[in-house]
Amino acid sequence: MYTFDEGEIIIINKPTRWSSFDVVRKIRNTIRFKKIGHAGTLDPLASGILILATGKKTKTISSLQATTKEYIGTITLGGTTPCFDLELPIDKTYPTEHITNELIHATALTFVGEQMQYPPIYSAVKQDGKRLYIAARKNEEVELKKRSVTISAFEITKIEMPIVYFRVVCSSGTYVRSLANDFGKAMNSGSHLSSLCRTKSGDITISQATDLEKWVDDFKAWKRNQETS
């Protein structure tokens, strides 16, 4: 039984190429219920856990969003992009011949802990009352402000040069795209985030998430059953 007014928590495994709002809109149109929001934006190229809340449970969004997150993904060394991932093409290339496996592992360890991080210029962060990506698209000069984040773990799980596979556990508000960009800089090279999946949000794991189309199909089946019973 769905009680969207009283409140439902919906855990979706967001597909790549969908924005977080695309998912909200899809489910809103499916359930025909307007009061719905999400806890913690995922970039369009990222997949994984996206938590949605309806009705009275939208009041819990702030607390759901503030939890520690876990991600797995890949960083590709040797090239940067303006947005730090592949939504925009590579604009600069850098040497990687000097980068060894030992350097990669040692550099990852330097990012563990509390630190100040610049958000990407192409991000939804508000600065001086304006979304950064709006200023970026207008080619406006913006002086980025660092934000305090905590990276509890930055584990290198596999290296297939120039691709580095990783797992990261971080505080809410951490930009893994910024981490990917900073990672290359720290090795006197360049890099960008080439794939990302959110595998944990607070106590919620990816195994609890439902593929978007499956959730929609399951809801429609439930709705038809309600109408015929």
Position 47, amino acid: S
Query: Is-catalytic flag, 43?
Result: yes
Q: What is the DSSP string of 197-217?
A: EEEEETTEEGGG-EEHHHHHH
Which H or E run includes 182?
A: helix 176-186
For residue 171, the tally of other CB atoms under 10 A from its CB is 15
Residue 54's contacts (CB-CB under 8 Å, 6 or more residues apart) are 4, 5, 7, 8, 10, 31, 33, 35, 36
The angle subtended at Cα 23 by Cα 223 and Cα 222, nearest 5°, is 10
- Which among 22, 43, 203, 211 is annotated as catalytic? 43
Partners of 126 in the β-ladder: 131
Residue positions annotated with a catalytic role: 43
